[in-house]
Chains A and B, each alone.
Chain A
Amino acid sequence: MNTFKLTIDGVVVEAEQGMTVLQAAKRAGLFIPSLCAHDELSPYGACRLCVVEIDGIRGTPTSCTTPAAEGMVVRTNTEQLQTQRRRTIELMMSGHPSPCFSCDSREDCEVEKSTPTKAGIATRCGACSNRPGCELRGVAMGNFTRDIDLPLLYSIDKIERDDPFIDKDHNLCILCGRCFRTCEKIHDKPAISIANRGKKAKISVEFGKAWSSEECRFCGTCVDECPTGCLTDRWGKWFGVQDSLVESVCTLCPNHCKLMLKVKQGKIIGAKMLALKKENAICALGKFGIAQIVNSPRRISRMQVKVGSEQIPSSFEDAVAKIKSLFEESAGGKLVISSRDAYVETRRGLRALAKKYGADFVELAGNAESLDAQTLSKIENGEYETVLVLGNWLSAEAASKIKHLIVADFAKSAAQKFADVVLPLSIVGETSATVAGADGKPLGCAKASEPALDRRATFEYLNAVIGDFSGGDFELESLAKDFASPALDKKNLPNKFLGHYLSDFAPDLLKLGLKKSPEAAEIENSKNGFEILEKKMLVPNFHSIKISAPDAAKYVKPGQFAILMANANSERSPFTIIDWDAKEGWIEFIVEEVGRSSSELGSLKKGDRIAVMSGPLGTPVDLENFAPGSSALLLGGCYGIGAIYSIARALKEKGVKTTCAIEASTSYMLYFKDKLAAVADKLIVKTRDGTEGTKGGCSDVLAEIGANFDSIIAIGCVFMMKKCAESAPKDDSKTQLCALNPIMVDGTGMCGACRVNVGGETKFACVEGPFFPLLKVDFKELGKRRTAYKLLEIEAMPRHIGGRCHS
């Protein structure tokens, strides 16, 4: 290959023919910031961060689209280029939800909230699932000041959640074009491209239809290449960035595609293509299905052996001994049912087992509808005394006709109830084993994650039962013929794996046309409960929900909360009451989407019902502490903006001179300004990025003017209240309160989950709270207790289409 030399920032570097200036710099270890550029994709020149100055070339060309040439003299970091890049970042940030980028408390806040809030809409980095992996954030924070001079153009576009597996938040898109260049590279004709122009430009399929109606195959590669949080894996996104990538093989269909499994803390959280090359393309099942199937609550994990009439959890040795004795001692008919989507070792082993004990042998395609009629009728006639079945091929009725049944499976099935032995299996990514490649050659599958509890591969059990069978009588080549059809076309995706409907594990597959298992349960919507009279999204992720509750509405007082459950399976979670009317019989809540329970509530509509509303709860604000004519400062952040409203109104009625200060990350997250202005003598607005009111937060207000007030109440997230406590006047004679919102279970003083440390004493926030002296609360302990279930809360997230609020 021809090489030549050029000079970049005074360094003479060598480049190869066909390289761009950016590639030449990168090869020489020189850093030029860039976002749209990608080694495997065609040059595009969209983000304009990689601009350089080149002698003899006018202006500032983008280094990613400029071919390197012999003798070029390139400068990458002049003052003019820096200014230009800063402007570029500012332009991107003005249309991107960027308040965390400009916030002065960012570093402190991110220590406090080490993982992003599981919000429905990414209104800032702190509410974006891609915060840990965001390239835009990385480039911006590494190279630019946090001040943005340009006006905010954030458009609050609707989040698209109607497509399987992929959430699309166009607010985060920087139009880098990686997604459609990826799509073009892998699939020739891209399903997606940029529609519209200027401010309205966005990635879309033709005519803005749902992706699933078009060419898109949901291979998900665009999600992996998206530098921001615009395209995300609905199921896996909150787990964050993987610790490692393990090269392995997808065994869910006979194509046996090689891919990379994403592993975090020993858990498979996703998959991606081996490399961004056409020949490495994978399908929706490989990309999104594997993690959902491997982590499904339908999996089984314990070996069971029947003793008497009971299945008892047993050891490997007991299970093996039982299988041996059943096959050795059984005088009647024997049958071994195998499945073609099992590992080669397993299939060999099952054949060897059948041969050794003279059993009939049936092998089904993993995707087969059911057993053949002949075998089935033999089972139903009771002709088989001992049967070993791999996968879900026997109905409860058929299983009940078998005297001795051994079931090897990875998930629950109807037949297991009748089994003498149940063997829990390890599957994709949990076993080191062999499958047949499409070329008929053996293909090794690497283990990426340790299988939980008793799970093992079938061949491990068989090896112990019949000894070594590696020389078994079958040819890999003959097997290769079984799987000719590439499943990349979504129409060819298999419906089943080892006899189980895949849509039971990943319901979004139904949208790709996969079959539904006949037993699949419908989620019932409650007919009982409290009717929603009105529901509004005040700002992204914040909803006001007004419900009919005539009994309770008579007793609400300012500052109280109630426990809500969207449906019978929800958690009992506390939400603050912001308004009520005893005569009309309604109560209104503020609901901030931060996880499963709140997003379930957020997804309800007017006319729907909330299964449980238990309240009002908590001790209301003691209005006796606020004398008429005295002055009060109410501070509200996020849900606290709603929470201080009813208190401000009550204080106004009492003749207290009230100042309300509200803070939000940015202008588009402010709400209730008019409502608060109507009940307060003065309203102070603060935003973290300075896009409305003055820059800063409530703690700054407190530091500036807190000393002038007789009483102070602060309501918001733990971080906001902690900051307020730090800057509040250290004066015990004032009434200074905060309203705490710890994890609760019952909310009536029964469980103690909500206990908080106030001045060295343990208090129950649900009964003795939520109001406590601001200066005495141990916020550090509260913060730790609030985040105790972080990982489980991610697992609990609703992850199928329609599982979350659509606005």
Chain B
Amino acid sequence: MAEEKVRKTRASGLPRLVMPEQNPVRRATNFEEVPYGISLEVAMDEASRCLRCPKPRCMAACPVNINIPQFIAEIAEGNPQAAAEKLKTQTALPAVCGRVCPQELQCEGSCVLGLRGQPVAIGTLERFAADYVRQNKLDKLPEKAAPTGKKVAVIGCGPAGITAAADLAIAGHEVEVFEALHLPGGVLMYGIPQFRLPKEIVAHEVEQLKKLGVKIHLNYLIGKLESVDQLMKEGFDAIFIGSGAGLPMFLGIPGENSVGVFSANEFLTRFNLMKAYDFPNHATTPIHAKHIITVGGGNVAMDSSRTALRIGAKSTLVYRRAREQMPARKEEVHHAEQEGVDLQLLTNPKRVIADENGKVIALECVRMELGEPDESGRRSVTEISGSEFQIPCDAIVVSIGNRPNPLIPMTCKSLATTRKGTLEVDPETLQTSMAGVFAGGDVVSGAATVISAMGQAKKAAANINKYLRGEPLKDEAAPSAL
């Protein structure tokens, strides 16, 4: 990327922008997106803050290596369309990443300005550029290489699958995507709520993918129709598996099968993919509860507890460790608290209490205390004996993580898996134990973020290109693994 020109200008020194947001009281009653977005003027001011470092630390911290100073420079010049085109060369989903990436741990967390003040609002600017071209219908498709005559199958149409499919189509391969659900988008559709990521945006990005010539098969569950081996036999030259981590974990405590205990996947799928908030226009039944307890401390737990508020329930979040250990994005925790989610930290569920009809009436919890850090540096927690107490509730959402769905390896014995059920891959090439079959995203790393899945997918796609050209996969040093 050395040849790309980064214009050198003095940074403006303005304060960081404040993203206008829906009032918390108001938004806790609707499913509309929380931030309102910004105008071109505000975006230009914010972009003018960028120092345009010669060795941009933000770019190094980006899992998909977006040339951040460059796209920001375009915005500063008043060219959001050019900025979006620059973004599109590295990410198939800028409007999504701008909304759901943990920027404080990645680009913004590395921004030099952040050392002494506030980092550039990189996520907001990315979102702005992508929204600008979408809203003004200025999308341009990236140029495609000449057809290679090779066919690639992509399993799963979530963030990893969309990224890999786009890169592979741009490289000139014929790409077919296989999606199990009836709508494309994966976790962007069923998991992340409308108020954080409007579904129209996902639909738009998928439209762009189709315009690249990618064929998407919906309702097509690999492992129940063809297995991975069969796909190879049917004439696909390579396969990318991006099937995600869709198998919900439960607590394993007594009473967990009571009526009113949901996995976060079920709870969110009902309201996002199936639009139960529009019941009975949409037939999927909502959860009519007065008090919903969410168990967990990740982004999905935040999404669940905030969805609970929006359907009119009192929402409590129970997490066994302290605030500092919460894996969720800071902004999500902040938004949840602002909207009225009651955080019960250092609290661990012990058993679910149900009435004679098997319906949940309370969650029994115990208070925890922090111990010394373990080998991984995470502080352990221990129960405070005798501190058991009950929280009355009529629904519980278990949001303690997901594992990959075992269906694909179960039906293709040559795919090796780890103890955690993830696919075994070469960390440099992302090739699985089967030649020509690559994987990326949560199916490899376990439940992680959208952007890390996209980063892996890009890397896998690059290696698929090499594989299809017959080049050795390991002749040069690959960028560091995620």
Our verdict on whether A and B bind, yes or no, reads: yes
Chain A residues in the interface with B (C-beta under 8 A): 297, 302, 304, 307, 310-314, 453, 551-552, 554-555, 563, 565, 569-572, 596-597, 600, 611-617, 745-746, 748-753, 755-757, 762, 767, 781, 784-785, 788-789, 792-793, 795-796
Q: Does B482 lie at the interface of the complex (its beta carbon under 8 Å from any beta carbon of A)?
A: no
Cα distance A612–B260 in the bound complex, in angstroms? 27
Assuming the contacts A614-B181, A750-B248, asked whether A784 and B25 have C-beta atoms less than 8 A apart, the reply is: no
12 A-B pairs within 8 Å (CB atoms) are namely A313-B29, A555-B225, A569-B275, A597-B283, A611-B182, A614-B181, A614-B182, A616-B224, A748-B180, A750-B247, A785-B358, A796-B283
| A-side contacts of B266, CB under 8 Å | 745, 751-753
Choose from A453, A612, A788 the contact partner of B219 (Cβ within 8 Å).
A612
Choose from A304, A551, A749 the contact partner of B225 (Cβ within 8 Å).
A551
Assuming the contacts A302-B29, A749-B246, asked whether A614 and B221 have C-beta atoms less than 8 A apart, the reply is: yes
Cα distance A106–B245 in the bound complex, in angstroms? 45
Quick one: which of B217, B279, B284, B357 has the most chain A CB within 10 A?
B284
Choose from A297, A304, A614 the contact partner of B180 (Cβ within 8 Å).
A614
Interface flags, B215-233, vs A, CB<8A=1, else 0:
0011111001110000000
| B-side contacts of A762, CB under 8 Å | 250, 256-257
Q: Does B414 lie at the interface of the complex (its beta carbon under 8 Å from any beta carbon of A)?
A: no
Cα distance A757–B22 in the bound complex, in angstroms? 44
* Nearest CB in chain A to that of B247: its residue: A749
Choose from A307, A453, A569, A750 the contact partner of B282 (Cβ within 8 Å).
A569
The number of inter-chain residue pairs (CB within 8 angstroms) is: 136
Choose from A565, A749, A784 the contact partner of B358 (Cβ within 8 Å).
A784
Quick one: which of A311, A752, A784 has the most chain B CB within 10 A?
A752
| A-side contacts of B357, CB under 8 Å | 784
B405→A750 contact, CB < 8 A: yes
Quick one: which of B225, B226, B282 has the most chain A CB within 10 A?
B225
Assuming the contacts A611-B182, A751-B248, asked whether A746 and B257 have C-beta atoms less than 8 A apart, the reply is: no
Q: Does B140 lie at the interface of the complex (its beta carbon under 8 Å from any beta carbon of A)?
A: no
Choose from A596, A746, A749 the contact partner of B407 (Cβ within 8 Å).
A749
Q: Does B265 lie at the interface of the complex (its beta carbon under 8 Å from any beta carbon of A)?
A: yes
Q: Does B285 lie at the interface of the complex (its beta carbon under 8 Å from any beta carbon of A)?
A: yes
Cα distance A614–B218 in the bound complex, in angstroms? 8
A792→B288 contact, CB < 8 A: yes
| B-side contacts of A789, CB under 8 Å | 285
Interface flags, B383-416, vs A, CB<8A=1, else 0:
0000000000000000000000111000000000
Assuming the contacts A297-B280, A781-B358, asked whether A748 and B405 have C-beta atoms less than 8 A apart, the reply is: yes
B265→A751 contact, CB < 8 A: yes
Quick one: which of A310, A751, A793 has the most chain B CB within 10 A?
A751
Assuming the contacts A297-B281, A555-B226, asked whether A751 and B263 have C-beta atoms less than 8 A apart, the reply is: yes
B contact face: mostly helix, strand, loop, or mixed: loop
Q: Taking the nearest CB of chain A, how far is it from the CB of B157, in angstroms?
A: 13
Q: Taking the nearest CB of chain B, how far is it from the CB of A85, in angstroms?
A: 39
Interface of chain B residues 192 through 234 with chain A (CB within 8 A)? 217-221, 224-226
B280→A752 contact, CB < 8 A: no
A746→B181 contact, CB < 8 A: yes
Known: A297-B279, A795-B279. 9 other contacts (CB 8 A): A310-B22, A552-B225, A555-B226, A616-B224, A745-B269, A748-B221, A756-B257, A784-B259, A795-B280
Cα distance A795–B26 in the bound complex, in angstroms? 27
A792→B286 contact, CB < 8 A: yes
Interface flags, B243-255, vs A, CB<8A=1, else 0:
0001110100000
Choose from A565, A614, A748 the contact partner of B246 (Cβ within 8 Å).
A748
B260→A752 contact, CB < 8 A: no
A745→B23 contact, CB < 8 A: no
Cα distance A749–B248 in the bound complex, in angstroms? 8
| B-side contacts of A563, CB under 8 Å | 219
Q: Taking the nearest CB of chain A, how far is it from the CB of B69, in angstroms?
A: 34
Q: Does B270 lie at the interface of the complex (its beta carbon under 8 Å from any beta carbon of A)?
A: yes
Cα distance A552–B247 in the bound complex, in angstroms? 23
| A-side contacts of B236, CB under 8 Å | none
Q: Does B262 lie at the interface of the complex (its beta carbon under 8 Å from any beta carbon of A)?
A: yes
Choose from A312, A597, A750 the contact partner of B269 (Cβ within 8 Å).
A750
Cα distance A311–B182 in the bound complex, in angstroms? 35
Cα distance A750–B189 in the bound complex, in angstroms? 13
Assuming the contacts A614-B180, A781-B257, A796-B279, asked whether A750 and B246 have C-beta atoms less than 8 A apart, the reply is: yes
Q: Does B274 lie at the interface of the complex (its beta carbon under 8 Å from any beta carbon of A)?
A: yes
A792→B265 contact, CB < 8 A: no
Q: Taking the nearest CB of chain B, how far is it from the CB of A593, in angstroms?
A: 14
| A-side contacts of B358, CB under 8 Å | 781, 784-785
Choose from A453, A570, A767 the contact partner of B283 (Cβ within 8 Å).
A570
B221→A792 contact, CB < 8 A: no
Choose from B22, B218, B224 the contact partner of A555 (Cβ within 8 Å).
B224
| A-side contacts of B270, CB under 8 Å | 745
Cα distance A571–B262 in the bound complex, in angstroms? 17
Quick one: which of A600, A784, A793 has the most chain B CB within 10 A?
A784
Q: Please name the 10 residue pairs, one residue from A and one from B, whose CB atoms are nearest each other, closest first.
A: A751-B266, A784-B358, A614-B219, A750-B246, A752-B263, A792-B285, A612-B182, A788-B259, A789-B285, A571-B283
| B-side contacts of A302, CB under 8 Å | 29
Cα distance A540–B342 in the bound complex, in angstroms? 51
Cα distance A757–B258 in the bound complex, in angstroms? 11
Cα distance A570–B280 in the bound complex, in angstroms? 10
* Nearest CB in chain B to that of A768: its residue: B406
Assuming the contacts A555-B226, A757-B257, A784-B259, asked whether A571 and B274 have C-beta atoms less than 8 A apart, the reply is: yes
| B-side contacts of A313, CB under 8 Å | 25-26, 29
Quick one: which of A554, A750, A757 has the most chain B CB within 10 A?
A750
* Nearest CB in chain A to that of B358: its residue: A784
Q: Taking the nearest CB of chain A, how far is it from the CB of B399, in angstroms?
A: 12
Choose from A746, A784, A796 the contact partner of B285 (Cβ within 8 Å).
A796
Assuming the contacts A571-B274, A751-B269, asked whether A796 and B280 have C-beta atoms less than 8 A apart, the reply is: yes
| B-side contacts of A796, CB under 8 Å | 279-280, 283, 285
Cα distance A600–B26 in the bound complex, in angstroms? 36
Cα distance A598–B173 in the bound complex, in angstroms? 42
| B-side contacts of A616, CB under 8 Å | 224-225
* Nearest CB in chain B to that of A782: its residue: B257
* Nearest CB in chain B to that of A744: its residue: B266
| A-side contacts of B274, CB under 8 Å | 571-572, 745
Cα distance A120–B250 in the bound complex, in angstroms? 38
* Nearest CB in chain A to that of B179: its residue: A614
Interface flags, B275-301, vs A, CB<8A=1, else 0:
100011111111010000000000000
Cα distance A617–B225 in the bound complex, in angstroms? 9
Q: Taking the nearest CB of chain B, how far is it from the CB of A189, in angstroms?
A: 39
Cα distance A767–B404 in the bound complex, in angstroms? 13
Cα distance A398–B286 in the bound complex, in angstroms? 36
Assuming the contacts A551-B220, A745-B270, A751-B266, asked whether A596 and B283 have C-beta atoms less than 8 A apart, the reply is: yes
| A-side contacts of B405, CB under 8 Å | 748-750, 767
* Nearest CB in chain B to that of A617: its residue: B224
Cα distance A617–B180 in the bound complex, in angstroms? 10
B262→A312 contact, CB < 8 A: no
B23→A307 contact, CB < 8 A: yes
Quick one: which of B26, B29, B256 has the most chain A CB within 10 A?
B26
| B-side contacts of A554, CB under 8 Å | 225
Cα distance A751–B181 in the bound complex, in angstroms? 12
A793→B265 contact, CB < 8 A: no
| A-side contacts of B288, CB under 8 Å | 792
Quick one: which of B250, B259, B407 has the most chain A CB within 10 A?
B259
Interface flags, B446-479, vs A, CB<8A=1, else 0:
0000000000000000000000000000000000
Quick one: which of B217, B220, B221, B405 has the most chain A CB within 10 A?
B221
Cα distance A302–B310 in the bound complex, in angstroms? 13
| A-side contacts of B263, CB under 8 Å | 751-753
Cα distance A756–B257 in the bound complex, in angstroms? 8
Cα distance A490–B286 in the bound complex, in angstroms? 37
Cα distance A310–B34 in the bound complex, in angstroms? 12
| A-side contacts of B181, CB under 8 Å | 614, 746, 748
Cα distance A722–B357 in the bound complex, in angstroms? 18
